């Protein structure tokens, strides 16, 4: 934190408050529980991605790779644990560690090479990553190849028949909630730290930031790794929910774009942006699917286009510049 | 390995590479002029393929005729999309234009899906086959390669030998400077994006000449992904670079595929695609802004 600066915690308080409301809704309306978990999942990933995309302005099209590697890390951990008769908690911890190691190392290599590029070049350089990982898994037939990994049997063995619903519903739901809160807080801490100001300086003008003594390469790299690792943890929890993973779904580039849309919708680089973006995105996607089945993507594309034209800096960003005169609004939507 | 196979693979690689090249040229042109990464390129390629299919099945028009229809439709679509949407986004952050073109691509794909359904379609347009030693290459695929090459040559001549071409290059270099020189920058943007869209739809027709089967609403996605790699290979915004990048890519693909097959990999096609990405990463390490960028 920067000394001598009075830090205002309004946006953090609003964020925590929203999380509490979501959790209360989730416990009091069990019929909406899975929809709210989906919402929390989008929030967690959007917050994690925001640390990189929102703060630096670099677009990573391969971002789904870190999510996919998280999925695979947990699946590998669980199947290894079940083969070697480890306990259930050891299996989960092993899975999370594997997720972090896989995503962290791939992010390290890709970040080390591609972060030397800027803007459009970076976006295009990363676009093939998820496909490359998918083809490697399918082509070299590692980690089950195209057949994927199915962990339902292993989970039954580890948690017992009666513990199965705990392992596939309660545990991942709680995990995703904790991750959503944690990524939000980490994002906030980065936002008010030296790192955060450095990153925002990079977003505004990278050359100027460099001249003023910001270690741009290091800052971008750190944000990239933190972001990738957090997303992989969300992925590792998601594996427990879906219990079967396949390369095409795990490394689907559409998810990358989906994550970008959510961050942009809310407003990149703001603490509350991902929360708002994820809520609007997941709810509108869900209800468009219910009321206009078959047409939801067509309607969605038109809405997206309108949002891009009307809210160029995202909803939170646009509100901020529109209402910047009013101090209270400024506090809320920082 | 017999020499016939090598010559055949080389020719096939040239044809395939030429097609990849024309796809990448359109993408590179739009970026070069308007600084927009066109994510709807794949959807436009798909619409080009459907144009060829519709006119072949409905009006018995050969893909050669569809080429011109595709160019005209692409040009007008590109210009109208520019005036409707993209004009407001020139100079905005790359993310914004990415999202806009992504929305456009979903829209185009969905219209195709609602109109044609998800079935794989195809038609048979045969000009006969040429035998190279013991291997067969269809005349239509050779024609596809030749058309792609001549299009790039015509485009280069247009850009470097005509007044409008130099206006396009001027705007690409410096829009403000071009404006001061009296160039109507918006018209030039509309023209540039129109040519890019036209090239995309045209390459869709060319793709059906190479392989007239497997036309479906998501046909363009793999070409889009590959052309991103190619464009980085050749240097974003460079026309010649994109085309040469495409040729290199096509040649690499026809060499790598039999190699992995020979080495008994589980899925040689997947390994080929993986290797292409690794090559891209290594290239970025050596030449961060492409092979042909000055």
pLDDT of residue A289: 78
Q: Which chain B residues have a beta carbon less than 8 Å from that of A121? A: 232, 236, 288-289
Q: How far is B91 from chain A (nearest CA, A)?
A: 12
pLDDT of residue A332: 60
Domain boundaries along the sequence of chain B: 3-286
Nearest to B103 among A129, A295, A301 (CB): A301
- In angstroms, the CA A297 to CA A299 distance is 5
Contacts of A52 (CB under 8 A, 6+ apart): A58, A60, A63, A223, A224, A226, A227, A228
Nearest to A301 among B95, B110, B229 (CB): B110
**Percentage of the residues of chain B whose pLDDT score is greater than 90:** 29
Residue A18 pLDDT level (bands cut at 50, 70, 90): confident
Backbone phi and psi for residue A149, each to the nearest 5 degrees, phi listed first: -125, 130
pTM of the model: 0.81
Q: Which chain B residues have a beta carbon less than 8 Å from that of A302? A: 103, 107
Q: Which chain B residues have a beta carbon less than 8 Å from that of A128? A: 225, 228-229, 276-277, 280
Q: How far is A120 from chain B (nearest CA, A)?
A: 7
Two tokens, residue A62: 């391969």
Q: Check residues A60 and A319 and name the one with the higher pLDDT.
A: A60
- Test A261 with B99 for CB contact under 8 angstroms: yes
- In angstroms, the CA A259 to CA A42 distance is 8
Nearest to B271 among A135, A257, A308 (CB): A135
Residue A4 pLDDT level (bands cut at 50, 70, 90): very low
Q: How far is B217 from chain A (nearest CA, A)?
A: 14
- Whether the Cβ atoms of residue B70 and residue B206 lie closer than 8 Å to each other: no
**Percentage of the residues of chain B whose pLDDT score is greater than 70:** 97
Q: Check residues A191 and A101 and name the one with the higher pLDDT.
A: A101
Q: Which of residues 132-171 of A touch B (CB under 8 A)?
A: 132, 134-136, 138-141, 145-146
Q: What is the 3-state secondary structure (H, E, C) of chain B?
A: CCHHHHHHHHHHHHHHHHHHHHHHHHHHHHHHHHCCCCCCHHHHHHHHHHHHHHHHHHHCCCHHHHHHHHHHHHHHHHHHHHHHCHHHHCCCCHHHHHHHHHHHHHHHHHHHHHHHCCCCECCCCCCCEEEECCEEEEHHHHHHHHHHHHHHHHHHHHHHHCHHHHHHHHHHHCHHHHHHCCCCHHHHHHHHHHHHHHHHHHHHHHHHHHCCCCECCCCHHHHHHHHHHHHHHHCCCCHHHHHHHHHHHHHHHHHHHHHHHHCCCCCHHHHHHHHHHHHHHHHHHHCCCCCCCC
Nearest to B228 among A128, A141, A304 (CB): A128
Asked whether the predicted pLDDT for residue B195 surpasses 90, the reply is yes
| pLDDT tens readout for residues A250-304 | 888 778 888 888 888 887 778 888 888 888 888 888 888 788 777 777 887 887 7
Using CA atoms, how far residue B189 sits from A141, A317, B185, B235, in Å, is: 47, 28, 6, 20
- In angstroms, the CA A37 to CA B90 distance is 38
- Across the range B78-105, mean pLDDT stands at 84
pLDDT of residue A8: 63
* ipTM reported for the complex surpasses 0.85: no
pLDDT of residue B282: 78
pLDDT of residue B293: 59
Architecture of domain B3-286 in this structure: Orthogonal Bundle (1.10)
Of the residues B38, B98, B224, the best mutation for testing chain A's interface (the one with the most A CB atoms within 10 Å of its CB) is B98
Q: Which chain A residues have a beta carbon less than 8 Å from that of B107? A: 298, 301-302, 305
Contacts for B282-286: CB closer than 8 Å, 24+ residues apart: B283/B232, B283/B233, B284/A113, B284/A114, B284/A116, B284/A117, B284/A125, B284/B232, B285/A113
Q: Please check whether residue A248 touches B, CB under 8 A.
A: no
Residue B232 pLDDT level (bands cut at 50, 70, 90): confident
């Amino acid at each position: 934190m920067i000394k001598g600066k009075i830090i205002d915690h309004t946006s953090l308080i609003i964020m925590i408050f929203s999380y509490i409301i979501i959790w209360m809704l989730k416990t009091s309306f069990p019929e909406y529980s899975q929809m709210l978990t989906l919402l929390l999942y989008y929030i967690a990933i959007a917050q994690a991605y925001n640390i990189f995309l929102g703060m630096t302005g670099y677009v990573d099209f391969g971002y789904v790779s870190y999510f996919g590697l998280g999925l695979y890390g947990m699946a590998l951990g669980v199947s290894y644990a079940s083969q070697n008769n480890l306990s259930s908690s050891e299996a989960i911890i092993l899975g999370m560690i594997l997720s972090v190691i896989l995503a962290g190392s791939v992010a390290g290599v890709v970040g080390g090479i591609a972060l030397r590029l800027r803007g459009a070049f970076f976006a295009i350089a990363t676009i093939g990553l998820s496909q490359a990982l998918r083809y490697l898994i399918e082509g070299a037939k590692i980690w089950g190849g195209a057949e994927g990994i199915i962990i339902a049997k292993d989970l039954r063995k580890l948690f017992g028949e009666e513990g199965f619903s705990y392992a596939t519903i309660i545990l991942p739901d709680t995990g995703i909630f904790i991750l959503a809160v944690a990524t939000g807080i980490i994002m906030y801490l980065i936002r008010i730290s030296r790192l955060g100001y450095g990153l925002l300086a990079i977003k505004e003008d990278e050359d100027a930031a460099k001249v003023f003594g910001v270690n741009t390469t290091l800052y971008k790299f750190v944000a990239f790794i933190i972001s990738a690792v957090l997303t992989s943890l969300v992925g590792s929890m998601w594996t427990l929910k879906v219990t079967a993973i396949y390369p095409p779904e795990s490394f689907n580039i559409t998810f990358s774009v989906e994550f970008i849309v959510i961050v942009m919708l809310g407003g990149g680089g703001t603490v509350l942006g991902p929360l708002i973006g994820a809520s609007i995105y997941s709810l509108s996607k869900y209800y468009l699917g219910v009321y206009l089945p078959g047409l939801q993507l067509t309607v969605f594309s038109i809405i997206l286009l309108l949002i891009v034209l009307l809210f160029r800096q995202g909803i939170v960003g646009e509100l901020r510049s529109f209402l910047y005169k009013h101090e209270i609004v400024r506090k809320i939507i920082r | 390995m017999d020499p016939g196979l090598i010559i055949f693979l080389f020719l096939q690689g040239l044809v395939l590479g030429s097609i990849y090249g024309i796809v990448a040229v359109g993408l590179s042109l739009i970026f070069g002029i308007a600084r927009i990464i066109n994510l709807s390129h794949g959807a436009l390629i798909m619409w080009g393929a459907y144009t060829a299919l519709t006119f072949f099945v409905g009006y018995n028009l050969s893909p050669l005729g569809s080429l011109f229809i595709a160019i005209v439709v692409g040009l007008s679509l590109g210009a109208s999309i520019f005036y409707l949407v993209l004009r407001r986004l020139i100079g905005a952050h790359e993310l914004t234009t990415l999202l806009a073109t992504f929305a456009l691509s979903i829209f185009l794909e969905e219209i195709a899906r609602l109109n044609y359904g998800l079935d794989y379609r195809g038609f048979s347009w045969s000009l006969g086959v040429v035998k190279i030693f013991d291997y067969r290459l269809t005349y239509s695929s050779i024609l596809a390669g030749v058309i792609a090459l001549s299009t790039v040559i015509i485009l280069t001549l247009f850009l470097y030998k005509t007044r409008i071409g130099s206006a396009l290059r001027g705007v690409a270099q410096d829009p403000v400077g071009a404006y001061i020189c009296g160039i109507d920058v918006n018209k030039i943007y509309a023209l540039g994006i129109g040519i890019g869209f036209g090239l995309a739809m045209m390459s869709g027709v060319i793709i059906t000449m190479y392989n007239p089967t497997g036309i479906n609403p998501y046909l363009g996605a793999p070409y889009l992904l590959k052309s991103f790699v190619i464009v980085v290979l050749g240097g974003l915004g460079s026309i010649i670079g994109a085309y040469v990048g495409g040729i290199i890519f096509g040649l690499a693909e026809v060499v790598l595929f039999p190699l992995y097959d020979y080495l008994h990999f589980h899925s040689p096609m997947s390994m080929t695609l993986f290797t292409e990405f690794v090559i891209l990463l290594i290239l970025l390490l050596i030449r961060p802004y492409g092979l042909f960028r000055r």
